[in-house]
Amino acid sequence: MIRKFLVIILVLSISLLALVLAIEENAYDLEYYTESFENNAVYDTTGKTEEELELVSKDIIDYLKGKDDSLLDTHFNQKEIQHMEDVLSLFDLARLVKFVSLISALAVAAYFIIKLETKFAGKWLGLGLFLNYLLVLIVAILARTDFTKYFIYFHEIFFDNDLWILDPRTDLLIQMLPEPFFINIAIKIGISFIKYVVIGQLIGYILFRKGTYGIGRFKWQRM
């Protein structure tokens, strides 16, 4: 019974770790921001130069990394800053989830290695992670049908205020990051997530092979 419980913890931990890594990989990608500005005519909308928006983007990324709480003060109005504070709270939570997931995954993997049950762990880790492909497919279908609708649902679930409702006529943040920015970054996050899930499955395969062929078993038993 404990084996089944622990392998569920392992699958969940790897899945959450993959999701946070995918989010951070793309949210911190300065090159994507600049590409989005070009593709969405943000320079014309904001009236700012490439250098100015690159500076703002760098400050947004550093802010989301938790480097300096005052980075956005010179760029945005009070409402935008308050919304970004809420966004930062989500990123702080994501960092906590990443840390807990990593520690949990390592601890459970160590348990199975010590117990010489890597074949069981590897098999069910690989199979369990396939559920993530189904989740990605469901999210992709929903987003494809009406991205705006589910984007609003996302904000209503994760934010307890209406600070995220910005005015594209006056608020720089929404001018810089219009809906197409989030559509494309969602796609990129999905692709990155799948990449990390595949890595998790490869780890599962290695554990499975280790258990099947008893790699290192003789030396461990002698210790």
**Other CB atoms closer than 10 Å to residue 104's CB: what's the count?**
18
Could you report how far apart the first and last alpha carbons of the chain are, in Å?
27
Q: What is the pLDDT along the chain (223 residues), one digit of tens a residue?
A: 899 999 999 999 999 999 999 999 999 999 999 999 999 999 999 999 999 999 999 999 999 999 988 889 999 999 999 999 999 999 999 999 999 999 999 999 999 999 989 999 999 999 999 999 999 999 999 999 999 999 999 999 999 999 999 999 999 999 999 999 999 999 999 999 999 999 999 999 998 987 655 545 434 444 3
205's CB contacts (< 8 A; 6+ apart) are 122, 126
91, 25 in Cβ contact below 8 A?
no
